[in-house]
């Protein structure tokens, strides 16, 4: 790990001291939101994490190194365009080439686990794409959730996906889906859909106890903490579904697939909703960051108060 990972001093000190740290991804900067909203949202997420008692750790690959924690100029660099979207399969390719990359949910989970960070906030996870029965387009995020011990706080899966199939896949792979203040799975731009979660929690302490039980039992893999978008920012469910269907049809017609599909669909949704999806996206990102920080604080407190051993950071990390 020494050759490939650099942990910012403040973050490394917090990890060593067993304090709360929240991982944040970088694809929201390079592929998720347009400029300058991308940089503004990423910095606002960091500020929200701090305001709720935890240390933010935005993760990216720069110059062939996994960077756990970024500087101000790094955000501009990631927002400049031409940055590769990096998931699990891409990590060795980009690192060996000394390149730059924006980390997806899967890659951010891997990096967080290497650093010893247990909680990660994002917008929405990837999942089973609509039409996957013929395309086999299933996000690597789901497999990462089944194998990497990081809790992912999100507004459910991105609404452009097939949500019932995504939940079925998660069940098969043994990933708990916990509704935070909800009995039903959030649908990203809307507060919920008619799909039940595995369990409901109404406090960060409740979530922390679930995470402790899971990992003390040696049950590898993460958990989804599904947080509904704030009610005042939610979009009309029927209208957004119509926009998604149109965007999906356009993507099929233009042959857009693979890594390019999600950025294409999100961009088209912003156009079709006249910017309303962008406003909603920012609201749920900040809400998720706040909840993730509260969970990270509760989990760090629980570790100090019990005999649960702290999982060490990856070997030979730079602090």
Residue 205 annotated in ligand binding: no
Boundaries of domain holding 300:
5-304
- The domain spanning residue 297 has which CATH number? 3.40.1790.10
Q: Does residue 179 form part of some domain?
A: yes
Residue 275 CB contacts under 8 Å (≥ 6 apart), including other chains: none
Report the SS3 class of residue 26: coil
Strand partners of residue 180: 201
Q: Does residue 314 form part of some domain?
A: no
Residue 64 Rama label (left phi>0; alpha psi -120 to 50; beta): left
Residue 217 CB contacts under 8 Å (≥ 6 apart), including other chains: none
pLDDT value of residue 132:
84
Residue 140 annotated in ligand binding: yes
Q: Does residue 105 form part of some domain?
A: yes
Q: Does residue 67 form part of some domain?
A: yes
Q: Does residue 319 form part of some domain?
A: no
Please name which of 228, 221, 206 lies closest in space to residue 153, comparing C-alpha atoms: 228
- The residue ranges of the chain whose pLDDT is under 50 are 308-309, 315-319
Residue 183 annotated in ligand binding: no
Residue 28 annotated in ligand binding: no
pLDDT value of residue 102:
97
Q: Does residue 139 form part of some domain?
A: yes
pLDDT value of residue 42:
96
Q: Does residue 310 form part of some domain?
A: no
pLDDT value of residue 307:
56
pLDDT value of residue 316:
42
Residue 139 annotated in ligand binding: yes
Q: Which two tokens stand for residue 268?
A: 């088209």
Q: How many domains does the chain have?
A: 1
pLDDT value of residue 313:
53
Q: Does residue 316 form part of some domain?
A: no
pLDDT value of residue 131:
83
User: 3-class secondary structure for 257-312?
Assistant: CHHHHHHHHHHHHHHHCCCHHHHHHHHHHHHHHHHHHHHHHHHHHHHHHCCCCCCC
Q: Give the active site residues.
A: 25, 158
Beta strands at 55-62 and 65-68: parallel, antiparallel or unpaired? antiparallel
């Amino acid at each position: 790990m020494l050759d490939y990972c650099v942990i910012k001093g403040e973050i490394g000190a917090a990890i060593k001291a067993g304090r709360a740290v929240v991982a944040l991804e970088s694809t929201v900067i390079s592929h998720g939101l347009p400029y300058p909203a991308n940089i503004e949202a990423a910095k606002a997420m960091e500020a929200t994490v701090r305001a709720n008692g935890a240390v933010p750790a935005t993760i990216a690959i720069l110059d062939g190194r996994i960077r756990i924690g970024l500087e101000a100029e790094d955000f501009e660099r990631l927002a400049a365009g031409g940055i590769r979207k990096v998931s699990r399969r891409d990590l060795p390719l980009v690192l060996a080439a000394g390149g730059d990359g924006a980390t997806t949910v899967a890659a951010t989970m891997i990096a967080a686990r290497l650093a010893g960070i247990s909680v990660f906030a994002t917008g929405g996870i990837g999942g089973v794409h609509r039409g996957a029965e013929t395309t086999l387009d299933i996000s690597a995020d789901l497999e990462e959730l089944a194998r990497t011990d990081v809790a992912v706080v999100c507004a459910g899966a991105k609404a452009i996906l097939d949500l019932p199939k995504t939940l079925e896949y998660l069940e098969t792979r043994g990933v708990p889906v916990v509704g935070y203040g909800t009995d039903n799975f959030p649908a990203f731009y809307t507060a919920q859909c008619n799909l039940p979660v595995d369990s409901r929690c109404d406090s960060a302490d409740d979530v922390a106890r679930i995470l402790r039980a899971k990992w003390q039992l040696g049950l590898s893999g993460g958990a989804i903490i599904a947080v509904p978008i704030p009610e005042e920012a939610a979009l009309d469910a029927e209208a957004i579904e119509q926009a998604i269907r149109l965007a999906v049809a356009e993507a099929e017609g233009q042959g857009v697939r693979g890594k390019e599909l999600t950025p294409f669909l999100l961009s088209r949704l912003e156009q079709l909703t006249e910017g309303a999806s962008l406003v909603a996206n920012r609201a749920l990102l900040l809400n998720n960051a706040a909840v993730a920080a509260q969970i990270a604080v509760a989990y760090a407190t629980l570790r100090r108060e019990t005999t649960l051993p702290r999982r060490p950071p990856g070997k030979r990390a730079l602090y």
